[in-house]
């Protein structure tokens, strides 16, 4: 008797705008590099361009606008219910511009992943590129991490690094960093889909078969 087919892990991706990291992950799955299925893309904002893109490639989409709900708790409850209908193995935040409540984070504990535009634990929160330039750091980067109730402080899965150039402004630094985000996040999605990512008892990340989880964007000088 032939073996039963193995179902692919399922991702739900949350966005609020262009969703370029979402597109990078979807493209990796469509090329066969990431062995996951994208169950849905959900936006917190009406008219998000990323929703139109996801719909154009045949992915189920939904918008749950945070402004339609009277509180963060009400919004998060509606969002969690929408996600649960797709029974995902992981929920990937890709430019999702909402601070999630502890109850939501606990509901998806160990399955909720985010990309943040800094080398955490440096520069949590907003305006990370301006913070990097103001402090004079010579490298900047992004971090893909597990989400915990403490904002931008979850266990780190992987990071990407770019050089800070003397002529950089927040916009140019952000643009260059986005290129490395599009490398790091699909790679992490692949590791997740392959079942290679594990949390240790002391909340550190181990990825089977991977020695280094740091990625660099080559910069011409």
Q: Where are the domains of the chain?
A: 10-216
SS3 assignment, position 27: helix
Of 66, 116, 140, 145, the active-site residue reads 116
The continuous run of DSSP H or E covering 30 comes out as: helix 20-30
Catalytic residue flag (residue 116): yes
At what angle are helices 128-135 and 170-193 packed, to 10 degrees? 120
169's tokens: 């402004």
What does the buried/exposed string (b/e) look like for 82-118 if buried means 16 or more CB atoms within 10 Å of the residue's CB? bbeebebbbbbbbbbebebbeebbebbeebbbbbbbb
Range 10-216 has CATH code 3.40.50.170: yes
CB contact at 8 A, 142 and 159: yes
Q: What is the DSSP string of 56-79?
A: HTT--EEE--GGGSSSHHHHHHHH
Q: What are the pLDDT tens digits along the chain (221 aa)?
A: 344 345 799 999 999 999 999 999 999 999 999 999 999 999 999 999 999 999 999 999 999 999 999 999 999 999 999 999 999 999 999 999 999 999 999 999 999 999 999 999 999 999 999 999 999 999 999 999 999 999 999 999 999 999 999 999 999 999 999 999 999 999 999 999 999 999 999 999 999 999 999 999 865 43
């Amino acid at each position: 008797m032939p073996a039963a087919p193995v179902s692919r892990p399922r991702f739900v991706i949350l966005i609020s705008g262009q969703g370029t990291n979402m597109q990078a992950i979807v493209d990796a799955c469509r090329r066969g590099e990431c062995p996951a299925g994208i169950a849905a893309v959900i936006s917190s904002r009406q008219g998000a361009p990323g929703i139109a893109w996801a719909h154009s490639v045949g992915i189920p989409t939904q918008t749950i606008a945070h402004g339609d709900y009277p509180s963060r708790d009400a919004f998060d409850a509606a969002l969690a219910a929408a996600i649960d209908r797709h029974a995902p193995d992981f929920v990937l935040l890709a430019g999702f511009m909402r601070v999630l409540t502890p109850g939501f984070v606990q509901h998806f504990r160990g399955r909720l992943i985010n990309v943040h535009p800094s080398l955490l634990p440096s520069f949590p929160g907003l305006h990370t590129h301006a913070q990097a330039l103001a402090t004079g750091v010579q490298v900047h980067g992004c971090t893909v991490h597990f989400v915990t109730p403490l904002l931008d402080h979850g266990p780190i899965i992987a990071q990407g690094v770019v050089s800070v150039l003397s002529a950089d402004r927040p916009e140019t630094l952000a643009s260059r960093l986005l290129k490395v985000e599009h490398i790091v996040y699909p790679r992490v999605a692949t590791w997740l889909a392959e079942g290679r990512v594990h949390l240790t008892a002391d909340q550190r990340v181990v990825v089977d078969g991977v020695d280094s989880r740091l990625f660099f964007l080559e910069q011409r000088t």
